[in-house]
Amino acid sequence: MRRALPLLMLLTLLPAAAWSQALSPGPLARDHAQLDDDDQCGKCHQPGAGVVNALCLDCHRVLAERVRAGTGYHGRALKGRPCAECHKDHLGRDAALTRWPGGRPENFPHGRTGFHLIGAHQDAGCRDCHTAARIADADARALEGTYLGLPTTCVGCHGAEDPHQGTLRDQPCSGCHGQEAWRPAAGFDHAKTEFPLRGKHAEVECGECHEGTVFAQSKRTCEACHADPHPKKTGFAPTCATCHAPTGWERITWPRAQHRSFPLTFGHDVADCARCHGDDGNRAPTPACGGCHDDPHRGSLGARCQRCHDTQDWRRVRQNAVDHDRFAFPLRGRHTDVACEACHPKGKLKPIPHARCLDCHRDPHGGEVGTTCEDCHVVAGFRPSTWPTAKHTGFPLEGAHAATPCAACHRPQAAAGGSDWRFARGKTACVDCHTDAHQGQFGPRPCADCHRPASWRPAAGFDHAAAWPLEGAHAEVACAHCHPDGRYADTPGACAACHGAPHLGQFEATPPPKACADCHTPASWTGTFDHAPVWPLEGAHAQAECAACHRPVTLADGRQTTQWRLGFDDCGRCHASPHRGDR
């Protein structure tokens, strides 16, 4: 306190200017030099509070507006921090008022302003952008060397350099361009425009369609960019897209259904338009067939090809398209179904031999029956033959033979591939054609002795009476009943050979022996046996049934039969004596 008192007494004796210099920490910077007076300290300082931000903003009104609006570095990043942290004064007239990080503006963290330096902006110097010419606000522009008021939009800085000349003023630059480089416009998507790039258009450089850098209102029609290569005489549609697609000029998309002047059907339905219209598409072919196709008939049938042919198949000729009756060979029967090229190879129409069938057809009979095919065949069909059976003199066709097809006897020869029909002559015996059903039982005896051409069965020519007369029930028995397995020769005639021995030899073992015919006849099995010589049937015996006396018996070997020869003639063998008890 003793030291402070003489200093205070000294200050009171100094002039006012000297007194303020004695209290000040140092001279103010040149921009604040007008405040370097003790009466002006209150402009920045507040007793007990030091430098107050509000006092700074009273003078720096342009900055105050940005702080209140919360824009720019001061409005976004400071948030009430003391101005004196970055802006130091009282360091002398030549001292800078702004304390930069690292001592250089280039080290300032620009992202805190809300505008990050990305891409090419990182390489720009501070004063490349922060110039008075780029500041729109007049008050900010008046501040010498200020960094305030610079716009953040692309147009704000580059508007004077707009290569699009304002044609895209309603579109943000960032929609197409990035900050790395102006070209290429990596963010531009042509698919979102009114003209998406498809096919070959995707390979075209921008400048080929857009003159300079003016893109809005560009041409969108094919005709605006491409010259029409087709002369008017072709009559093609005025709109290129009717026939062509962006995928390639050569690919034609013309709907062939609209080819009304000349319908493209069947063989004409080709995808390669150049086949008819040429490589440049300028050929206008005539609708006549001869305009595109060579005439294989060399004009012999005129120029109206469609009378015989259609577009479905050139080789197929319309049936009845040509009136063959006008020519020397009218088409009849099977000839109407024959393809034209079968007779007219390679379109050759005349002269064609046709006087004989053999001019076109191979003789399947090898000349065996002459060359006049019409004697046996007609155009309605090669089979059946029309040879009259009455002319079959070598072997008269009678009965079933008259209904037999020729091929049943005259078969194709295997040596000729089964296609040659030869007629073996001189063979008239039945066995030449028919297999012997009797397997040689009758030796050389001719078939005609028993069979007739009318039918194989029955054997109408066979006389059974000469061999074994068929009488009574035998006349009604089927042949196979006595002749099993087709065996006829040497068939035994004895009754037992067919009927066996139902009496088990009773009439052969005891005298007098009797044959079957002694009791039975072919008319009936019940027979005609005469009972009188053996035991006369009189009185009640005449009414008795046979079985009452002739009962079934079983032999020692187990066989059963009816006992006909009883071997007795006394009553007691059949009747019990009613008098036995009286004796």
Helix (H, G, I), strand (E, B) or coil at 329: coil
Tens digits of per-residue pLDDT, 194-206?
Answer: 888 888 888 888 8
Is the pLDDT assigned to residue 99 strictly greater than 80?
yes
Q: Is 9 helix (H, G, I), strand (E, B) or coil?
A: helix
Q: What is the DSSP string of 205-241?
A: -HHHHSSTT--TT---SHHHHS---S-GGG---S-GG
Measured from the Cβ of residue 123, the count of other Cβ atoms closer than 10 Å reads 8
Q: Over the stretch 463-487, which tens digit does the pLDDT of each residue have?
A: 787 788 888 888 888 888 888 877 8
Q: Which amino acid does the sequence have at 12?
A: T
Tell me if residue 412 falls in helix, strand or coil: strand
pLDDT of 583 strictly over 60? no
Give the C-alpha separation, 298 to 561, whole Å: 104
Please give the single-letter amino acid code of residue 260.
Answer: R
- Max CA pair span of the chain: 216
At 17, the pLDDT band (50, 70, 90 cuts) reads: very low
Mean pLDDT, rounded, for 123-127: 90
- pLDDT band with cut points at 50, 70 and 90 for residue 3: very low
Q: How far, in Å, CA of 137 to CA of 149, rounded?
A: 6
Residues 6 or more apart in contact with residue 291 via CB below 8 angstroms: 285
How does residue 12 score in pLDDT terms, banded at 50, 70 and 90? very low
What residue has token string 């024959």? 338
Determine if the pTM surpasses 0.85.
Answer: no
Percentage of residues in the chain having pLDDT higher than 90: 5
H-assigned helices in 414-478: 430-433, 464-467
Average pLDDT, the chain: 81
Q: What is the pLDDT of residues 370-399, one digit of tens each?
A: 888 888 899 988 888 888 877 887 788 888
pLDDT of residue 424: 60
Instruction: Outline where 421-570 has alpha helix (H).
Output: 430-433, 464-467, 479-482, 495-499, 506-509, 546-549
